[in-house]
Amino acid sequence: MIKPYLELGQIVGTHGVRGELRLNPWCDTPDFAKRFKTLYFDKNGEQPVTVLSCRPHGNIVLLRLEGVESVEAAEKLRSRMLYLNRDDAHLAPGTWFIEELIGCEALDADDGHRYGTLTEVSQTGANDVWHITGTDGREYLLPAIPDVVVDADVANNRVLIRPLKGIFDDAD
C-alpha cells in the first residue's frame, strides 16, 4: 500500500555541540537522505521541520534541523523517528520502499494463485529476499530477482511473482 509518509530513519545521537544530529537511515545508502529539504516528526506529516544540512558520515547521516541549535536541544530528539514525504523521493520506475511492500499479497503472475502475504524483506547484499507467509502459515523465502518478481503493484497491495521450482512445492 502506498503511504504518503515513510520512515527515513531514527535519530540515534548528537554530533558536536551545535545541535547536529546522528541519524540511522533506513535507506539503501546514506546519500538518499540528502534529497530532502523538509522532514517530519510524525507519520501524518503534521510536524514538518526544515533540513539545514545533511551529509553522509560512514553508514549514518549527520543532520542539522531548523530550531535545533545546541547539543541539549539535539539530545532531546534522541530516539525520535524522522519521516519523509513520499512525493519528495522521486523513485525510479521499478523501485519500491520496503515499508510499502510489507503486507502485499503474493500472487502468481500467470494464474493469479495466492501464495500468501509478504511479511518481511531481508537485504542480503546480492539481492533482497522476500519472506512470504503462506496461506498454510509457513514462511517461504523468495529471491527478489527479475526472473521471480514480475511486478510489484504496491498501489493495489499485491506483488506478482513466478516462483522458482521448489519454493512453494516439494519439487525434486
Mean pLDDT, the chain, whole residue set: 93
- Give the pLDDT band of residue 170 (cuts 50, 70, 90): low
Q: Which residue has the higher pLDDT, 2 or 34?
A: 34
Which whole number is the average pLDDT over 59-81?
Answer: 96
Task: Give me the torsion for CA of 43, 46, 51, 57, rounded to 10°.
Answer: -20
| Whole-Å CA distances, 44 to 107, 140, 167 | 30, 33, 38
The answer to whether residue 29 scores a pLDDT higher than 90 is no
CB 130 within 8 A of CB 121: yes
Q: Examine domains 5-86 and 98-161 and report if their fold is the same.
A: no
The answer to whether residue 172 scores a pLDDT higher than 90 is no
Domain ranges of the chain: 5-86, 98-161
Radius of gyration of the chain (CA): 19
Of the ranges 24-28, 37-41, 104-108, which one carries the lowest mean pLDDT score?
Answer: 24-28
pLDDT tens profile 143-162: 999 999 999 999 899 999 99
Could you tell me which CATH class the domain 5-86 is placed in?
mainly beta
Distance (Å, whole) CA 89 – CA 124: 23
Structure confidence at residue 93 (pLDDT): 78
Q: Percentage of residues in the chain with pLDDT exceeding 70?
A: 98
Structure confidence at residue 28 (pLDDT): 78
Could you tell me which CATH class the domain 98-161 is placed in?
mainly beta
pTM value is 0.79
